[in-house]
């Protein structure tokens, strides 16, 4: 039975809301956390599909509720889409792979790539990540004043994920930029005069084309990389189809690039805005970088939302949610929840209790690349702190998006 809910008067659905800054948005989330922690809202504006009658979503903004939803996949599933907006089924199939699946298929597909993310496997590429971070900073020093996102932040995540998957060097910018555009369709500056669906189509075409070329190359000549593992992997006795491999590739390309890139960018800006924190970290980098990274990720909250769908009528924090209704988790809000974090609006790199939700609230979809991301952040911040001590950044240009907290450009001087 469909229940007609009353929409909250608090706007978190309009383009104007998502075009404002995270600091502005946090004022709204604070109100919701205090007064209406589970609230019903109209569908996000600017979506690709027309809005259906009765459509809307429940906003989950408190830390404890985000954890509850994340840890109860039997009540709140991913298989009916994980984004706040409705996307065409073909787009979801082509790009989301196991991110938008439920057990048992989710478990099986996730297992196929999890071997590449174990601590042992990551330890083997640790030195390469460090070398690459050093090279990026060498080139920054040669380049001089520039756009920090293009010349620094995007490069290490792009290199790392492409190296792991086995993307040829001449295709890496194409892959990183296509992955970026796939989540940028709401931004008028990125979109230009194209329709959102056109932008998505172009990105999928570029990513799928690259993936298919690699599939053919690995079938002919296996290498020691993730693409070769995928080409030869079997699930329930069957090889993955080309479409399934392509979707895997799109997921890894988006998840592995954008998130870490934006954490680096927000982190550098935060170090400038909190100079005493920068000095504190530099005074004992080895001893302090562990908790500092957790705080950079909390601070950045580079993934803004993930959605679930209620599998049955269920109560969440005293609210009745009907089967089939959308439930959207707002990670930046959970990461500023004052009942969990002391002074949540302050960057505190030594924060002792930091159970942030930036990698998700736990459960089966918890970020697979979290340890990889932390290794990259550590390598790059070490290079930046000690080799570019006078780095100064200007005003960030933020992407308009309800999905990622992204910086398009950040001018820097050395
Ligand atoms: C600071 C960096 C990163 C952040 C903040 C981040 C955040 C997230 C979040 C919030 C989720 C969804 C969790 C959920 O639904 O419960 C996720 C899933 C995922 N992340 Fe990350 N991520 C980061 C870096 C990476 C990297 C470097 C990779 C490497 C490829 C990666 C791969 C994945 C994958 C494959 C999933 C899907 C897991 C699943 O559905 O089972 N992430 N990430």
Interhelix angle 242-273/155-165, nearest 10 degrees:
150
- Report d(CA 224, CA 207) in Å as an integer: 21
Ligand 1: which residue has its CA nearest to atom 38? 365
Q: Dihedral of CA 71/369/291/298: which sign? A: negative
Output the CA 290–ligand 1 centroid distance in Å.
19
Domain locations in the chain as residue ranges: 15-413
Please state the CATH superfamily assignment of the domain spanning residues 15-413 in this structure.
Answer: Cytochrome P450 (1.10.630.10)
Whole-model pTM? 0.96
A 10 A CB-CB count for 392 gives 12
Nearest Cα neighbor of 2 from 283, 378, 287, 325 is 325
pLDDT score of 3:
65
Q: Which atom of ligand 1 lies at the shortest distance from residue 101's CA?
A: 40
What is the residue-level pLDDT of the chain in tens, covering all 414 positions? 456 789 999 999 999 999 999 999 999 999 999 999 999 999 988 777 777 777 899 999 999 999 999 999 999 999 999 998 888 888 888 888 999 999 999 999 999 888 788 888 888 899 999 999 999 999 999 999 999 999 999 999 999 999 999 999 999 999 999 999 988 888 888 888 888 888 889 999 999 999 999 999 999 999 999 999 999 988 888 889 999 999 999 999 999 999 999 999 999 999 999 999 999 999 999 999 999 999 999 999 999 999 999 999 999 999 999 999 999 999 999 999 999 999 999 999 999 999 999 999 999 999 999 999 999 999 999 999 999 999 999 999 999 999 999 999 999 999
**Residues at CB less than 6 angstroms from ligand 1:** 70, 98-99, 110, 161, 251-252, 255-256, 259-260, 263, 297, 302-303, 306, 358-361, 363, 365-369, 372-373
Q: Is 365 helix (H, G, I), strand (E, B) or coil?
A: coil
pLDDT score of 193:
86
DSSP codes, 285-306: HHHHHHHHHHHHHHHH--B-EE
Q: Measuring CA to CA, how many Å separate 59 from each of 37, 39, 319, 378?
A: 8, 5, 11, 33
Q: Which residues pair with 198 in a beta bridge?
A: none
Output the CA 130–ligand 1 centroid distance in Å.
21
Beta carbons of 242 and 215 less than 8 angstroms apart:
yes
- What is the token pair recorded at 185? 């369709």
Q: How many CA atoms lie within 13 A of 193 on its CB side?
A: 0
């Amino acid at each position: 039975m469909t229940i007609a809910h009353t929409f909250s008067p608090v706007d978190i659905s309009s383009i104007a809301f998502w075009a404002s800054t995270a600091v502005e948005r946090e004022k709204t989330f604070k109100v919701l956390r205090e007064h209406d922690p589970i609230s019903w809202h109209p569908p996000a504006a600017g979506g690709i599909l027309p809005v259906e009658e009765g459509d809307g979503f429940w906003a989950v903004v408190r830390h404890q509720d985000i954890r509850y939803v994340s840890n109860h996949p039997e009540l709140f599933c991913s298989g009916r889409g994980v984004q706040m907006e409705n996307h065409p089924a073909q787009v979801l199939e082509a790009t989301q792979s196991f991110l938008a699946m439920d057990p048992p298929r989710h478990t099986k597909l996730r297992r196929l790539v999890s071997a590449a993310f174990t601590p042992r496997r990551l330890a083997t590429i640790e030195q390469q990540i460090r070398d690459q971070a050093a090279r990026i900073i060498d080139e920054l020093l040669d380049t001089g004043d520039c756009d920090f996102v293009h010349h620094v932040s995007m490069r290490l995540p792009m290199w790392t994920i492409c190296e792991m998957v086995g993307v040829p060097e001449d295709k890496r910018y194409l892959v990183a930029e296509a992955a970026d555009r796939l989540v940028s369709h709401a931004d008028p500056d990125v979109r230009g005069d194209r329709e959102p669906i056109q932008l998505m189509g172009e990105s999928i075409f570029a990513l799928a084309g690259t993936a298919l070329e690699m599939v053919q190359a690995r079938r002919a000549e296996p290498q020691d990389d993730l693409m070769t593992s995928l080409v030869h992997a079997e699930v329930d006795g069957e090889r993955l189809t080309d479409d399934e491999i392509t979707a895997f590739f799109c997921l890894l390309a988006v998840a592995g690039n954008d998130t870490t890139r934006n954490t680096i960018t927000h982190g550098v800006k935060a170090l400038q805005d909190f100079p005493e924190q920068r000095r504190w970290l530099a005074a004992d980098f080895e001893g302090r970088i562990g908790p500092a990274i957790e705080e950079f990720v909390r601070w950045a909250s580079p993934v803004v939302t993930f959605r679930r769908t209620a599998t049955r009528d269920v109560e969440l924090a005293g609210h009745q949610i009907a089967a089939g209704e959308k439930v959207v988790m707002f990670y930046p809000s959970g990461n500023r929840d004052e009942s969990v974090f002391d002074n949540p609006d302050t960057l505190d790199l030594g924060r002792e209790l930091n159970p942030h939700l930036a990698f998700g609230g736990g459960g089966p979809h918890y970020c697979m690349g979290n340890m990889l991301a932390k290794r990259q952040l550590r390598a790059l911040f070490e290079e930046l702190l000690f080799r570019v001590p006078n780095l100064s950044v200007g005003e960030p240009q933020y992407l308009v998006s309800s999905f990622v907290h992204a910086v398009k450009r950040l001018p820097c001087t050395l």
